Structure 1
Amino acid sequence: MHFAEASPARTLWCMQTTEHAHRPVTTSAPVADNGGRYAGIAMMLGSGLSNQVGAAIGSLAFPVIGPAGVVAVRQWVAAVALLAVGRPRLRSFTWRQWQPVLLLAAVFATMNLSLYSAIDRIGLGLAVTLEFLGPLAVALAASRRLVDLGCAVVAAAGVVALTRPQPTTDYLGIGLALLAAVCWASYILLNRSVGRRLPGAEGTAVAAGLSGLLFVPIGIVVLVENPPTQAALGCAAAAGILSSALPFLIDMLALRRVPAHFFGIFMSINPVLAATVGLVFLGQTLQASEWLSIAAIVTANIVSVITTSRQPRV
């Protein structure tokens, strides 16, 4: 997740806003009372803060082991956590089931490495906001509604404002964040395929495990060339727990208390949380125009999800 790594729960709203939604969306149970809704809101806020604080803490290790070293450790922690939750039965997998899982593993690895490399270059808030375009694109792609076209135009204007050419513009950092956005969109589509072919979180767990294996040689090379300190390893491991394991579990609990479309709307606060955490924890300041751009992208998503959720089901 989400944003540094999206869990299956985090992608339910994106699946719901396309024309080909599938069964896992129904895991969001009806809300019985306001108390349950408020508890769900508190959980979602906690999940978002955990995700972004984890990414901020992980970035503290960049000077010692670099983004690749942090992502390697983070992927290993995430793999252990998701395999423990998913408990996949590997011997029962068919080749048809393995195909999307292998692709999902490659997307996992690329998504997190590109995002953390972008955070290192352009800051947490801007990187997460640009990555956020991935799920927004998926939500808008299947629609032919005029309101969604308007949302796409607003989001595009926000991106142009964020990435406007300047002498100090880090085009590589922007490109890495956009690559992360493409990977997140791919994750959503692949996770739908995995969800159709494998029960529960088995496919996602295996993909996380394979992604962790992909980072074994990378992690060894990076950590040998850049001997880590205990503090750096602790920051990287904290990123794995706070940005993967903890949000995964919290999101699953939150979706029992709030509808999936409401989850999707609230998810839009994450770029704002990322910018705020970057400011408070890392001293990464944003200009007023950048805050307005983030607000435009978030607003485009909220409008798209709200109007989609009001459409009659067929």
Structure 2
Amino acid sequence: MGPVLLVIGSCTSLQVGAALAVHLFALGGSTGTTLLRLGFAALVLLVVVRPRVRRWTGLQWRAAAALGLSLGAMNGCFYAAISRIDLGTAVTVEFLGPLTLSAVLSRRARELLWVALALVGVVVLGVTGEHHGGSLDPTGVLLALAAGAFWAAYIMTSARVGEVVPGHGGLAVATAVGALLLVPLGAGGALQALSAPGGPWLAFGTALLASVVPYSLELAALRRLPQRTFGVLLSLEPVIASLAGWALLGQRMTPLGGVGVALVVLASAGATATTGRSRRDDGDGRGRVDLTAPAG
């Protein structure tokens, strides 16, 4: 599967899982739901991958720990946000994080144009996306912005793990680290959700669709795409989130919001085309390595 399809598959699975997680909020709250999502995902990944951590170096442990911190913070803030504002709106605001990362890392003027167009679409969709009208919940917006900042950190730390840890062992350990971070705040809610009828199945489905599948696909994509291109391709995320919110949660989109969706799709298509041309220009890919390396 090509890297572009990997990103699209990740976006779709993630947003369907997020819509499923909304049903868990009434049982365990947003933090309890986040803990269940990462906890179940960690169990699945650790059993399937069986990382050989005894052979890890300090560098590999630090990379996995940094990814785990990003995962825990990103998911905790995002689930708290979608408990207050619509799924599509939350993802739109959150997307400003990776979009800003793409702008910072971009080195070609044509790529900056796609970033700018995606930003316009994100702003339009964010302003007009709430199905019930009225002003956005400011706390929800702030939480989505915080999730966006940690999303950008996730992109960088995930790329680093892909470089220094072979296979998916780094992702498995990082997911476990992220879950452990949420235990103090989410243990009570998680236990309450697990004791409710159907709660364990909802939790497992959320973990599979919102963590195991998308993070595995994204890790594979980041091994084959520059961070800046990956970030722009994620502009599909608000579109898919809006569709998932409409289809699974009854969160309608305004006509002007549809304009924002069209702009974001156009920017994603342009970014995809630019990626293809960049690969041909770069030949065997040399010269792009530093784009996925952390600053300093």
| Distance across 2 between alignment mates of 1:235 and 1:226 | 9
- Residue of structure 2 aligned with 1:194, choices 138, 155, 161: 161
- Residue of structure 2 aligned with 1:281, choices 237, 242, 248: 248
- Residue of structure 2 aligned with 1:62, choices 8, 14, 25: 25
- Residue of structure 2 aligned with 1:102, choices 52, 57, 65: 65
The aligned amino acid for 1:198 is: V
Displacement after TM superposition at 1:129 (Å): 2.7
Find the counterpart in structure 1 of residue 15 from structure 2.
52
| Distance across 1 between alignment mates of 2:164 and 2:24 | 38
- TM-score normalised over the length of structure 2: 0.77
| 2:236–2:264 CA contact under 8 A, matched in 1 | no
**3-state DSSP class of the match of 1:75?**
helix
Find the counterpart in structure 2 of residue 232 from structure 1.
199
Task: Pick closer, same or farther for the CA change 1:223–1:247 going to 2, 3 Å.
Answer: closer
List alignment gaps of at least 5 residues for structure 2: 288-296
Note the 1:261-280 alignment, pairs <5 A: 269-280=236-247
- TM-score normalised over the length of structure 1: 0.73
Task: Pick closer, same or farther for the CA change 1:28–1:295 going to 2, 3 Å.
Answer: closer
Displacement after TM superposition at 1:290 (Å): 2.0
| Distance across 1 between alignment mates of 2:184 and 2:87 | 27
Displacement after TM superposition at 1:143 (Å): 2.0
Displacement after TM superposition at 1:75 (Å): 0.7
- Residue of structure 2 aligned with 1:120, choices 78, 83, 103: 83
Deviations 1:94-121 (A, max 9, x none): 3222222222111110111111112221
Displacement after TM superposition at 1:71 (Å): 0.7
**3-state DSSP class of the match of 2:251?**
coil
Find the counterpart in structure 1 of residue 49 from structure 2.
86
Task: Pick closer, same or farther for the CA change 1:143–1:260 going to 2, 3 Å.
Answer: closer
Find the counterpart in structure 2 of residue 307 from structure 1.
274
Task: Pick closer, same or farther for the CA change 1:177–1:201 going to 2, 3 Å.
Answer: same
Task: Pick closer, same or farther for the CA change 1:279–1:203 going to 2, 3 Å.
Answer: same
Note the 1:8-23 alignment, pairs <5 A: none
Deviations 1:223-275 (A, max 9, x none): 4677851233432221102222244567799x7xxx869x9687654432221
| Distance across 2 between alignment mates of 1:280 and 1:270 | 15
| Distance across 1 between alignment mates of 2:267 and 2:30 | 30
| Distance across 2 between alignment mates of 1:119 and 1:145 | 35
Find the counterpart in structure 2 of residue 150 from structure 1.
113
Identity %: 34
List alignment gaps of at least 5 residues for structure 1: 1-26, 30-39
Count, aligned residues: 272
The aligned amino acid for 2:88 is: G
The aligned amino acid for 1:171 is: P
RMSD between superposed Cα atoms in Å:
3.3
| Distance across 1 between alignment mates of 2:191 and 2:7 | 38
| 2:27–2:189 CA contact under 8 A, matched in 1 | no
Q: Is 1:211 matched up with 2:178?
A: yes
| Distance across 2 between alignment mates of 1:70 and 1:51 | 15
